[in-house]
Amino acid sequence: MKHFSLMIRNLTRRPGRTTSLILLTAFLAMSLFCGTVVVSSLRRGLNSMENRLGADIIVVPAEAESKVSMKNLLLQGTIGTFYMDASALERVRETEGVEKASAQIFLSSMKADCCSVKVQIIGFDPENDFVVQPWIAESLNHQLGDMEVVVGCRVETDVGNNFRIYDRNCKVVAKLASTGTGLDTAVYCNMNTIHILLQAAEEKGISHKIDSGNDSEVVSAIYVKVLSGTDPGLVNNRLNGHVRKATAIRTAGMMTEVADSLSGVSRTIAVLIGAVWLLALIILFIAFSMMVNERRRELAVYRLLGMSRKMLSGMILKETALCSFTGALCGTAFGAILVFPFTTLIETSLKLPYLTPDAGSVILYACLAMMVTVLVGCAAGSGTASRLSRVDPGTTLREGA
């Protein structure tokens, strides 16, 4: 029987006390790990969205904003099917201060046509696009051909499969990396393909006609990049005055709104974690204080038999560290089980871009959560260890003799 086995016996033969300590520390580790992962995922989601958006202004049909929130369209993949005359693209390009403009056409798939839920189909012009193309280029090494589609990471299909939209077969040529936004559930194709699909939708009775009657030349949104050094606000105002039946929206406003929401959620999570930690720490200190009285006699025996104060406090600290480590390991593992399978649910509930960190970062967060929990557990136990190591064995053993 060596010191370590003595320690294990002390822990295993007091299952109630040991389990309580493990549960408390597990709770601490779980809250820290889950909170960190959620906040980090939100930050990554926002960064990803900023990187992917790439446009300063979006021009949409005037009625589009009443049909769907632009923020929701981008963040949650809300289906938005609205159209305006394609001539708006030329009007935008003519506007002073516009460097680049690129149009997209949105179409919604029918439910149960290709997927378990409706998906947003986005047609873009690979020649002029500066929003989607650079991102698609990361996953596709050739120009997107006719009847070829690139799908978001959460669309349930694989590269090489046929993807059926309105009874038309499209070939999946690439699957995009996760962005943590609604773009993950979108399907991308070129303008020829989207026009074929619009026609197919028309045959199914889903109209995309606009008031002008020109149903072959429509666009849903025009993404605008302003000239360097030009005030986007000014260009936005010019576009609103220059392009008929359209509304220009600055993306910076959307991003600020999202960043504000994210900041609020982060603060709430931080406060919640703080409250959980405060509560758990109070319970932990109470548990350790109760342990002082419970173990006083046992530790007096160790002192009597020749354990020094340092050895005694070392033994208590090692026991605490072992309990805290076990708790931290269980808490982090349980936290992972809780937070990762429910990524979509969390994203939907928070209504914010949510991009889970890569494996390396997750391992780092797990290690940090465990380390902090073990350190806090040891810090909480150190006072007890110090008090217990100072027990007067003679007097203690006589008490209640």
Partner 1 sequence: MQLRAENISRRYFRKQGEANFFEAVRPVSLTLESGKLTVLNGKSGSGKTTLLNMLAGLLIPSEGKVYLNETDLYALEDRDLSRLRSEKIGVIPQGRSAVDTLSVYENILLPGILYGGTPRTEEAENWMKVLGISGLRNAKPAELSGGELRRMAIARTLTASPEVILADEPTGDLDSDNTAVVLSALQQAAEAGKAVLVVSHETDAEAYADRICHMKHGTIEQG
Residues in contact with partner 1 by the rule CB under 8 A: 1-3, 6, 9-10, 13-14, 297-298, 300-311, 392-394, 397-401
Quick one: 192 or 396, whose CB is closer to partner 1?
Answer: 396
> Considering the complex, what minimum distance in angstroms separates the CB of residue 330 from partner 1?
22
Measured CA to CA in angstroms, residue 43 lies from 73, 99, 138, 340, 354 at distances of 19, 29, 22, 16, 8
Question: Residue 297 or residue 351: which is nearer to partner 1 going by CB?
Answer: 297
Q: Which residue number, 228 or 395, has a Cβ lying nearer to partner 1? A: 395
Give the shortest CB-350-to-partner 1 separation in angstroms.
47
Provide the minimum distance between the beta carbon of 15 and partner 1 in the complex, in angstroms, as a whole number.
Answer: 11
* Locus of tokens 């995009």: 176
- CB closer to partner 1 out of 3 and 267: 3
In angstroms, the Cα distances linking 357 to 48, 152, 169, 177, 368 are 11, 18, 35, 13, 15
| Collapsed DSSP state (helix, strand, coil) of residue 295 | helix
Dist CA 98 CA 55 (whole Å)? 11
Question: Where would I find the H helices in 156-231?
Answer: 191-203
Tell me if residue 391 falls in helix, strand or coil: coil
Cα–Cα dist 294/287, whole Å: 10
- In our burial notation (b when 16+ CB lie closer than 10 A, e otherwise), range 49-80 reads beebbbbbbbbbbeebeeebbbbebbbbbbbb
For the bound state, the minimum distance from the C-beta of residue 398 to partner 1, rounded and expressed in Å, comes to 5
Q: How far is the CB of 305 from partner 1 (least distance, A)?
A: 5
How crowded is the C-beta side of 82, counted as CA atoms within 13 Å?
21
Q: Which is nearer to partner 1, 205 or 400 (CB)?
A: 400
Q: How far is the CB of 390 from partner 1 (least distance, A)?
A: 10
Residue 204 or 390 having the CB closest to partner 1: 390
